[in-house]
Amino acid sequence: MIISKTTNPKRQNINQKLWWKGVGIYGTLLAIALLMLFPLLWLIGTAFKDKSENIFQFPPQLIPSHPTFENFVTVWQNNPFATYLINSTIVAVLTVGLNLLFCALAAYPLARLDFRGREVIFAAVVSTIMIPFQIVMIPLYILTVQMGLRNTYLGVILPSLASAFGIFLLRQAFQQVPKELEEAARMDGCSEVGLWWHIMIPAIRPALVTLAIFVFIGSWSDFLWPLIVLDRPEYYTLPLGVATLEGAFSLDWRLIAAGSVISIAPVLLVFLLLQQYIVPTDAGSGVKG
């Protein structure tokens, strides 16, 4: 007995349209991703090219014909990049830690405590997001000088001790924590500080990690403020160190690209290590056994 299978032409036509639609969507996304990644790929490729290769040829050659680590060795040996790396690490770690602490302390009462003027205070804090840094830069510099914080780590991190965006983000996260957790902790005799530390902070871990990534990237790549408050090379951060390569090597783009790759590598590493914690988790995880 021979059984013939009949296909529905209408359904087959719909499947073909869906398939082509998927191809179009993913093709567009891939093209956009390659367009966005092109400067980074060109930078990495240039860092590994030797002097015999033309880095400005068209069409550009992203993969070096003769890959070499000579550019990285030259930059590292002729410049105190180890010092720049240590300075950037200290500044970034302190900035992230203090930002998380102060933003969490400010966001908690704005989200969970009921007091007069709470919404007005929150609106005033959020409104500062619209103020460009260039407007407050001069008053901050004067304050930094008067406090004797020029050429210090604390002077570099002073403008980033807390941020309106961080307070807003953590306030929204605190508001998502179920009331039952708070009530159960209070029934067990937990103090306000204990409630904040043992219940609320673990419950908003994804928001804290997200804020930490944003703050770390902003602090690590900040160029303008360190340029203003630092004039001693022993306190330079990596962005300032990369800027010194322009004069030191008379615009040798291979060496500048190598320094830039050294500068951005820690940022990519931190993001890859912490991205798994950004996924929202159940707020009930705030209860510690």
The Cα–Cα gap between 250 and 25 comes to: 45
Q: Compute the average pLDDT of residues 123-146.
A: 91
| pLDDT at position 59 | 80
| Mean per-residue pLDDT of the chain | 86
Q: Give domain 73-286's CATH superfamily.
A: MetI-like (1.10.3720.10)
Rounded to the nearest angstrom, the gap between the alpha carbon of residue 256 and the centroid of all alpha carbons in its chain is 22
Spell out the domain ranges in the chain. 14-68, 73-286
Q: From 124, 115, 131, 137, select the one nearest 226 (Cα to Cα).
A: 137
Residue 81 has pLDDT above 50, yes or no: yes
pTM over 0.75: yes
**Which distant-in-sequence residues (6+ apart) come within 8 Å of 89 by Cβ?**
266
**Tens-digit pLDDT profile for residues 222-261:** 999 999 999 999 999 999 988 888 765 557 788 888 998 9
For the chain, what percent of residues have pLDDT higher than 90? 40
**Tens-digit pLDDT profile for residues 14-37:** 777 778 888 889 999 999 988 888
| pLDDT at position 28 | 92
116 to each of 109, 113, 182, how far by Cα in Å?
Answer: 11, 10, 21
